[in-house]
């Protein structure tokens, strides 16, 4: 209990002091997870919509793979990305500067995109499939084009689609194993909130670790609240 109270005090002190090291960690955490979420949303919503709205050979297999991906341990994703980006890996040996390298924020974004993608796509698919199937026929009967039909269904499923984005964000902002593996927790370069918490805990700085944890929770809460507001819903609904 003592640590928790001290953690709160330390968190308030750290935030109030505007410690540049802490600000850099927060900014990097939000940047890495924000960009990864953007990529996974850009890929996940179309894929989820396609799986929810169309029927094609191999669809069930794709869905099974997606569900597997939803439960995939992030540290294993980190391991795959590590192997792929390492000097002898399939991507690392290409040697292009444009490709992300290990122990850079780019590698962390790749890992987090892969972690969030199945969640965004899977929950979007479920949300789209939850929309009344007769709506599609009704919308077409009112003269909608194919694109307008898909947009209308996504709009009707917006609650579920926002939930998919929130789930994706939650999975990566709080993730530690993959970013630790591919980022390396290098000070001023790849240190994010979760890896900093691990480090401070190992060093026995429980107050600081707790403070970072509280900041992480607060950021996560604020991001989710903002997304809910964007969706146009209040917490009462």
Partner 1 sequence: MSEPIYQLDQVAKAYEGRQVLSIKHLAVQQGEILAVVGPSGAGKSTLLRLLNFLEPPSSGVIRFMGVRFGAAGSVPLSLRRRVTTVFQRPVLLNRNVQANVAYGLRLRRQQRGNALVEAALQQVGLEAMARQHARTLSGGEAQRVALARAMVLHPDVLLLDEPTANLDPYNVRLIEEIVCQLNREQSTTVVLVTHNVFQARRLAHRVMLLLEGQLIEVADTTTFFESPEDSRTRSFVCGELVY
Nearer to partner 1, 90 or 133 (CB): 133
CA dihedral of residues 229, 233, 236, 237 (deg, nearest 10): -160
Nearer to partner 1, 156 or 200 (CB): 156
Q: Which of 30, 43, 91, 135 binds partner 1 (CB under 8 A)?
A: 135
Q: Is 140 in the site for partner 1 (CB under 8 A)?
A: yes
Measure the CA–CA gap between 71 and 77, rounded to whole angstroms.
11
Restricting to residues 148-207, name those near partner 1 by CB under 8 A. Answer: 148, 152, 155-156
Q: Minimum distance from CB of 46 to partner 1 (Å)?
A: 21
Q: Is 144 in the site for partner 1 (CB under 8 A)?
A: yes
Q: Is 230 in the site for partner 1 (CB under 8 A)?
A: no
Q: Is 141 in the site for partner 1 (CB under 8 A)?
A: yes
Measure the CA–CA gap between 85 and 99, rounded to whole angstroms.
9
Q: Is 124 in the site for partner 1 (CB under 8 A)?
A: no
Q: Minimum distance from CB of 142 to partner 1 (Å)?
A: 4
Which two three-digit tokens encode residue 128?
């789209």
Measure the CA–CA gap between 200 and 111, rounded to whole angstroms.
23
The residue length of the chain stands at 237
Q: Is 145 in the site for partner 1 (CB under 8 A)?
A: yes
Question: Per residue in 120-138, is it b (16+ CB within 10 Å) or e — as a string?
Answer: bbbbbbbbbeebeeeebee
Nearer to partner 1, 16 or 141 (CB): 141
Say if residues 187 and 193 touch (Cβ distance below 8 Å): no
Residues making contact with partner 1 (CB under 8 A): 132, 134-135, 137-138, 140-145, 148, 152, 155-156
């Amino acid at each position: 209990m003592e640590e928790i109270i001290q953690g709160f005090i330390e968190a308030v002190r750290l935030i109030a002091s505007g410690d540049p090291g802490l600000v850099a960690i927060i900014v990097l955490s939000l940047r890495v997870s924000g960009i990864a979420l953007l990529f996974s949303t850009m890929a996940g919503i179309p894929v989820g919509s396609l799986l929810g709205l169309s029927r094609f050979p191999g669809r069930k297999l794709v869905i099974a793979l997606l569900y597997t991906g939803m439960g995939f341990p992030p540290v294993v994703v980190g391991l795959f990305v590590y192997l792929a980006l390492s000097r002898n890996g399939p991507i690392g040996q290409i040697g292009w500067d444009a490709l992300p390298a290990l122990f850079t924020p780019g590698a962390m974004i790749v890992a987090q995109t892969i972690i969030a993608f199945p969640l965004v796509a899977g929950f979007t698919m479920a949300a789209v499939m939850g929309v009344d199937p007769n709506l599609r026929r009704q919308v077409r009967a009112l003269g909608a084009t194919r694109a307008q039909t898909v947009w209308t269904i996504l709009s009707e499923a917006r609650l579920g689609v926002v939930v998919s984005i929130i789930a994706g964000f939650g999975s990566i902002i709080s993730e530690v194993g993959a970013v630790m593996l591919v980022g390396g927790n290098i000070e001023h370069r790849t240190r994010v909130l979760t890896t900093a918490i691990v480090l401070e805990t190992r060093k026995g700085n429980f107050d600081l670790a707790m403070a970072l944890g509280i900041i992480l929770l607060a950021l996560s809460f604020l991001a989710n609240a903002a997304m809910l507001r964007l969706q146009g819903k209040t917490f009462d609904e």
